[in-house]
Structure formats: structure tokens, C-alpha cells
Amino acid sequence: MSYYDNRELSWLKFNARVLEEAQDTTTPLFERLRFVRIFCSNLDEFFMIRVGSLRDKLLCEPKDRENKTNMTPKEQLNAIARQVKKLLPLKDAAYADIMGGLTAFGVEHLDENRLSAEQDAFFKAFFAREIRPLLFTGIMDKKHPIPFLKNCEIYVACKIHRKGDAQGKYTFGILPASENLPRIVFLPNTEGMGFSGKFLLIEEIIRRYAKQIWDNFEVLSSAIFRVTRNADIEINEGLFDHDVDFRSVMEKLVKKRKKLHPVRIEFQGSPDSDMTDEIPKLLDIGENFVFKQSAPLSPEFMSVLEKRLERYPELFFRPLTPQRSPQILPGKPLIEQIRQRDILLSYPYESIGQFIGLLEEAAVNPSVTSIKITLYRVARDSKIIGALKTAAENGKHVLALVELRARFDEENNIGWSKQLEDAGVNVIYGLEELKVHSKLLLITLRDGNEVSYITQVGTGNYNERTSALYTDMTLMTANRDIGSDASVVFNALMTGSTVESTNRLLVAPKGLKSGIVRLIDNEISYGRDGYIGIKINSLTDRDLIEKLAEAARVGVRVELIVRGICCLIPGSDNADNTMTENIRVISVVGRFLEHSRIYIFGRENRKQVYISSADFMTRNTEKRVEVAAPILDSSLAERVCGIFNTILRDNVKARELCADGKYRRVSSDGNPPLNSQIWFYEQAYKANENSYAAIAESKPSNSPVKVKIRRIR
């Protein structure tokens, strides 16, 4: 149907919006460089997972067609390659522009082919002293086993001719440029004290002086390259047999991932055509997936530059600090406050430290009998893990479901699971064929014969680091129905089963999608008086897309905030020209990653509001354990709707998806500029200042409260 877009191509449109932030001259210069890095790391993961999966499908099911645009795996791969080759020159131009601007701040990425005599002498000596002793060489041709090339590691290829061999005969030598070597090398200051900001990358130095390595060969040409390997590992049912240790199997699979088939090769600069033709063939990489670019292949060196530039605040975003929620009174037990009223935190504007305070309080509260939590991604120095260990050591029954299949966090989670077990925590893993992606915490208390619950449901991970970078929400409630539902969820997880029904929570895989369809159907019954507002990361579930289109067709107003993939194209022309004309889709890409999920159904007094961990993707609605929680407190529901509506009015970082499938900047239409993320931070600062002022007024004159507020200017 004409209102569908392909999932993979829609994702590339999202990454193009990330790249727009790198091109935006109103963004501080180093922050633009950071967006280049995000664009590159996003693309790496896309090739490892999505392209890797499509390549597998091409081999096993070449005639299979995806269910929205009817494209075969080959058609999708070809379209991906074409689109990526359009984006890479834009990325290269952005990098060159940014680095050109940084020269005014003393940082300069030198051209290895335009070094002065003094510069050449320094780098040549550095190569001989610091690099050459650590290099090992490999040969790549039909007569030698191909050396193993690590995923996303940088190498220098040299086209070499053995002295004495026939003219025109050559082979390829391979030099690693990543392991045990500094990523970036700075020139010394002209005064001889310390180092300047002028630099070359280690691979550029190796390429320039590679002739010193091959004593018996003539180096005809050289090139920097790297390969990207398929990382889409599958977990089969047999791993869940009772006589198999799932954690040890996952450890083996993570190691296996590092050796899967290459799906992409990138060359930097203008390499010899023999290299770009023959090396990919030796690696069995099709010509469509050979990419050339002028910018560095890996942006990891940028963190070194950041330290050198910290003294220039104009190169960075203004520092912003997550604030204390005005809902939470300092010095008073949080459990008692939650029993009095529901509390909603909004990250990064409000601090996750307040939620951590709840866990730390529960760990020592004598009334707390158990703590149960689902862990998908956590920080490497997690205070949340520390609180759970403390609770177990204090004799609480602590259950932690650690999802070992959280992509690219498998090793991290394997390590945490071992630490938790050592501390006495009861650790379980995800269900057979179902990842547990929910963000759910249940604290059970017993006071005499009375049992009560404190339940937390979030949209994002229990990760202190990302809570300062991602927009997310967390609900903390003492509502007994929600607590009972959470208890049902954990009981099912402990027995390896899924939840059949609940009273308040919507729980995937059996109750979330059906619950959303029911809520959409209810709005359909209201026709033009109906309303649906959804904020998610991705929209790919065909059933839900069809339902939203059905609602729009009968006049329901549908407003979607979809940060990433959106397979529904609004306002598209088709047979009756009304399928999606009542649907508006925007995407906000800015300083923080939009990550919260909000579902709103209905207008005014009949409005129902949910927050959730689930996107509208089939993997979330049918193949994961996800939880959506209703916001039952009317004031909090209005707050969530206010957040949603403010994002809809963003005219600085919002792009609107148009009927032609392209995203365009939202026009201000004469309205004042509104960057919703910065506006929310300003409100958090003001609310914190006002709450401190109110506390100060309530204190006796001999008990002053010191207020220290950092204003946004």
C-alpha cells in the first residue's frame, strides 16, 4: 500500500537526521563532531545487525518479501547500498567543515601528504621507535590463508611487489592499525614543551611509512580499510534445556559473533582500484558494499580531542544538571511519600538518583521482604546493582531477571549476573525465544499481617549514564492493582511462562498489543471526536499501522512522535485519499535521545494515558515481555500529556514526515522558537528553585535552607 515505507530505508532516514545535526551551524562545533560520531556508530550497528540479517535471509530465503513494501532481501540490500553511498559524502563534508573550524582553537588534522620536513621527521622517527616494533604482517592473496580481520578494526593494506618477480606481479600485505597502538599522535610544540594540537591518526602514519616494513618488497600503493562483520547471532530453543548452562552458552555466542561473515568493507581516501576490486572478492563482499570515504573510518579518537578542547566552553553545549523532582520532599522516606501519592520522574530533566534512593531505602527498610526487578541494560559502575546486592546481604529476598541477550550488552550483563549471584541475589534469565525488555520493579512490604507494594514502571533502562542522555519516564506507585499485576508478571517470569491477563498493566506478548487495539477501536467508535497520541522510538508493526490508518479513515485525529523508524507515511495518496490524511508524524532529534514511550487515547475527561517500555514493533508487541502502565493520577496524566503536546510544538529540532516519504524541518509559522528539550530543562530548574523556596518559607527562621541553583542562560 502507498502509505508504507521500508523499515531499513526508514532507519537510514533517521540516521540522515542525526547527520543533519552535524551539519547544523547553530550547534556548538565539538557537539557537531559528536553527531558525526553518533552517525558512524549508528551505521556500524545497522550493518552488523540489519544488513547482517538481510544477508542471511538472502542466502536462505532469497525470494522472501517483507510485508510492507514487498521488497526481496536483494532489493533491500541494493537500496541500502545506494542510500548509504549518498550519505557518506555528506558525512565527509561535515567532518571537513568541523575540523576546519577547530583549527581556530589549535586543533588541526594534518594531511599526511603535505607534511613539512620537520613534521615528516618527527612522525617518521615516531613510527620507527613506537610503531614498527609492535606491528605484525599478514599476506592476503589466493595462495595464503586470509588473515582474520577483526570486526571494525582498522588495517593498512599494501600492494607489494617482490623484488625479482615478474613485472606486474603483486600481492597484498596487511598491517593492523588498532591493537596496542595510540589512536592519535600529536606533534610537539615548536617551543619543544608539550604537544601541539596538530595530529595524524595512527593508521595514517602506518600508511605513510609502510615502505619501511617490507624489506624485500616494493610498495606500489597502500590504503586504510576496515571490515564490518555480521553480528546478528540467533538463540535457538535448545539453549533453554535444563541441562544447559545458558550463561556459558551466551559467552560462547558472544565470541562467535566476532567471527561471523563480513558484510561491508570501507576504504579511506582514493585507494588503488586493484585493492578495491580484489580485497573485497577475497572476503566475499559484493561490490555494492564497498564504500569509499575521505573522513577517518573510526571516530573513536574524538574523545582525545575533547580533552584538549575542554577549556573552550563555546565548543560545547551548556552544562545541564538533572534536577530534584519537586514531587519528592528531601529528608522524608520515599516509600512513605509514594504511599501518599504517585510520583513521576522525567529524565534527564530530573535525576535518576531519586529512584536509586528508593532502592537504597528498600535495601535497609525492615518492612521490605522482597525486591524484584528486570534488568536489560545497566551502567558499568551501577549504583542500582550495588543497592540490590546490599538488599540481599541484609536478608531481603532479591530476584533479578538479567536479560543476557540485550544486544551488545551481553558481556556486561553476564558479568553483573555473576556478581549478583555472589551477593546472594536470585538471578534468572529471559524466557525461551522472548527477551524481557520491560522496566519493572516490585518492592513488597509486610507491616504486621498487611502486605503492600511499591511498583516502579519505566520507559528506559536502569542506567545512570544513559538517564542523563536519554529522555525517559518512570512511574512509582503504591496502587495495589498495579502491584498485584506486577506480582503476576514476576511469578510468570520465575516459572518461565507469560502473563495471560492483568487488571491494570498491559503486558506483552499476550496483553499489550490486544490492549492497544482495544483502545484504538474505542477511539474509532468516536469518529471525528476520537484522538490518539503516540510517542515511540519506532513504528513497524503492520497490525498497529493498519489500525491507526483505520482510525484516521473515520476521522480520528492521530498524532505520532516517532524518533526513528516509521513505516507509516502520513497523508499519502491512495484509492480513496483518506487513509492517512488525519495522521501527523514528527521526529525530534536533538541534544538528548528521545526514548520515552507515551500512549494517549481519548480527549478531555475520558483520556487514558500510559507510559511503556514498548515501541510499536512486532518484536516488542509479540516477541518480548513488555509492560505499559496507566497513569491513574489525573495531575500526572495531565503532566504527561503536557510533555507530549510540548514536543508536538517543537519547531527547532522537529522534522515532519511528509506524504512523499521525506522529512522536512517543522516551520515556525511566525511562532517563537521552541526547542522542547531545552524548554523542559528550563522548567525543571524553575520547579526546583520554586520548591526550594517553598521549603525555605516553611522552615523556622533559625533553620535556613541554602539554595544553589544553576540557571540556564
Give the model confidence (pLDDT) of 267-284 as tens digits. 998 899 999 999 999 999
Which triple of cell numbers denotes residue 365? 527498610
- Residues 361-420 have pLDDT tens digits of 999 999 999 999 999 889 888 999 999 999 999 999 999 998 888 677 677 778 888 889
What does the alpha-carbon distance between residue 70 and residue 76 come to, in Å, rounded to a whole number? 10
Is residue 61's pLDDT more than 50?
A: yes
Is residue 108's pLDDT more than 90?
A: yes
Is residue 707's pLDDT more than 50?
A: no
Which triple of cell numbers denotes residue 572? 499519502
Q: Considering the chain, what is the average pLDDT of its residues?
A: 90
Which residues, including other chains, have CB under 8 Å from residue 471's CB and lie 6 or more apart?
A: 346, 347, 348, 592, 593, 594, 595, 596, 677, 680
Which residues, including other chains, have CB under 8 Å from residue 97's CB and lie 6 or more apart?
A: 23
Q: Look-up: residue for cell 615548536?
A: 190
What does the alpha-carbon distance between residue 454 and residue 474 come to, in Å, rounded to a whole number? 13
Would you list the DSSP string of 431-496? BTTBEE---EEEEEEEETTEEEEEEEEESS-B-TTGGGTEEEEEEEE--HHHHHHHHHHHHHHHTT
Q: Is the pTM of this model over 0.85?
A: yes
Q: Region 90-105: what's the mean pLDDT?
A: 97
Residues 644, 646, 647, 648: what is their CA dihedral angle, to the nearest 10 degrees? 90
- Residue 235 CA: distances (Å) to CA of 242, 462, 534: 15, 24, 32
- 509 upstream amide cis, omega within 30 of 0: yes
User: Catalytic site residue 437?
Assistant: yes
Q: Region 297-322: what's the mean pLDDT?
A: 94
Q: Which residues of 478-496 are buried (b: 16+ CB within 10 A; e: fewer)?
A: bbebbbbbbbbbbebbeee
Q: Region 68-95: what's the mean pLDDT?
A: 97
Catalytic pick among 144, 242, 437, 595: 437
- Candidates 205, 215, 204, 133; CA nearest to 173 is 215
Q: Region 213-222: what's the mean pLDDT?
A: 88
3-state secondary structure 501-563: CCCCCEECCCCHHHHHHHHHHHHHCCHHHCEEEEEECCECCHHHHHHHHHHHHCCCEEEEEEC
What does the alpha-carbon distance between residue 520 and residue 551 come to, in Å, rounded to a whole number? 7
What pLDDT, on the 0 to 100 scale, is given for residue 233? 66
- Candidates 521, 545, 371, 696; CA nearest to 10 is 545
What does the alpha-carbon distance between residue 629 and residue 479 come to, in Å, rounded to a whole number? 11
What pLDDT, on the 0 to 100 scale, is given for residue 250? 56
Which residues, including other chains, have CB under 8 Å from residue 550's CB and lie 6 or more apart?
A: 520, 524
Q: Look-up: residue for cell 585507494?
A: 271
**How many Å is the maximal CA-CA distance in the chain?**
96
What pLDDT, on the 0 to 100 scale, is given for residue 251? 60
- Stretch among 271-275, 311-315, 341-345, 685-689 having the lowest mean pLDDT: 685-689
What does the alpha-carbon distance between residue 681 and residue 686 come to, in Å, rounded to a whole number? 9
The partner residues of 260 in beta bridges, in order of sequence, read none
What pLDDT, on the 0 to 100 scale, is given for residue 701? 38
- Candidates 592, 585, 590; CA nearest to 662 is 585
Q: Region 231-254: what's the mean pLDDT?
A: 56
The partner residues of 189 in beta bridges, in order of sequence, read none
What does the alpha-carbon distance between residue 536 and residue 556 come to, in Å, rounded to a whole number? 19
What does the alpha-carbon distance between residue 343 and residue 341 come to, in Å, rounded to a whole number? 6
What does the alpha-carbon distance between residue 686 and residue 188 come to, in Å, rounded to a whole number? 47
- Residues 592-631 have pLDDT tens digits of 999 999 999 999 999 999 999 999 999 999 999 999 999 9
- Residues 560-585 have pLDDT tens digits of 999 999 999 998 655 444 568 899 99
